Amino acid sequence: MTARADILARLRAARATAPGVVPRDYDRAPVVADLIGVFVDRLADYRAGVHRTGSDRLPEVLAGLLPDNGVLVVPPGLPADWLAGRAGPVRRDGTPGPLSVTDLAADGVSVLTGCAVGVARTGTIVLDCAPDQGRRLLTLVPDHHVCVVRATQVTAGLPGALARLADPTRPLTFVSGPSATSDIELTRVEGVHGPRRLDVVVVDDR
């Protein structure tokens, strides 16, 4: 018997006695004493801008992060009240048609979105193309991404975050800080395959 045949025979024998379903006993609700504090700390460690506010001051905080002399792009379902303090131009994707890569890559373009869920332990924001987030293109091309995360959307770990997704078959984007990469000499370069700047507004709605 060849080595290949021997290995395959062992695999078949092991599968014959294995359970039909592999148990996935993930800890979906690990205890984190200060859930939002850990989330904010991880975001800051990734060099994201972090801003905490209440629901009543959200439009004011967003207006301060998004200069009026730049173009703001928003997804079709972004809540209108988030833009109450906005004086500069706003382009809503899909009205009248979808924005192009050229539109989104222009100088001075920022994008404002919500999110599906946040993960405290890793400082990760999960986007699932819901109406308040829009197409993946919106959050991958512009240089500046401002994302609103409600405190009630933050979970401790990834298994709990995945369990909260309304439709796990949607395209998912996992964002952990601004886009960054390093070459062989460990020189950090930001904005290579995503926004160079990421601002996260954490809204205390608990």
**CA proximity to 75, closest of 61, 62, 60, 94:** 94
DSSP letter assigned to residue 98: P
Please report, for the domain that includes residue 121, its CATH number. 3.40.50.10420
Tens-digit pLDDT string for the chain (206 aa) = 689 999 999 988 888 877 676 666 777 677 778 999 999 999 999 999 999 999 999 999 999 999 888 999 999 999 999 999 898 999 999 989 999 999 999 999 999 999 999 999 999 999 999 999 999 999 999 999 999 999 999 999 999 899 899 888 899 999 998 887 877 777 877 777 789 999 999 999 86
Distance CA 32, CA 205 (A): 18
Please indicate, yes or no, if residue 23 is contained in any of the structural domains. no
Answer positive or negative: Cα dihedral of 176, 182, 188, 192: negative
Residue 196 lies in a domain: yes
Residue 13 lies in a domain: no
In a domain, residue 26? The reply is: no
Residue 12, domain member (yes or no) = no
What's the predicted TM-score (pTM) here? 0.83
The structure tokens 């608990």 sit at: 206
Single-letter amino acid, residue 13: A
Q: Residue 83 domain-assigned? A: yes
* 161 domain-assigned: yes
Farthest-apart Cα atoms in the chain, separation:
76
- The length of the chain is 206
3-state helix/strand/coil string of 140-203: HCCCEEEEEEEHHHEECCHHHHHHHCCCCCCCCEEECCCCEEECCCCCEEECCCCCCEEEEEEE
Domain total in the chain = 1
Q: Tell me whether residue 62 is in a domain.
A: yes
**Angle, CA 45 vertex, CA 40 and CA 50 arms, to 5°:** 40
* Domain assignment of residue 166, given as a range: 33-204
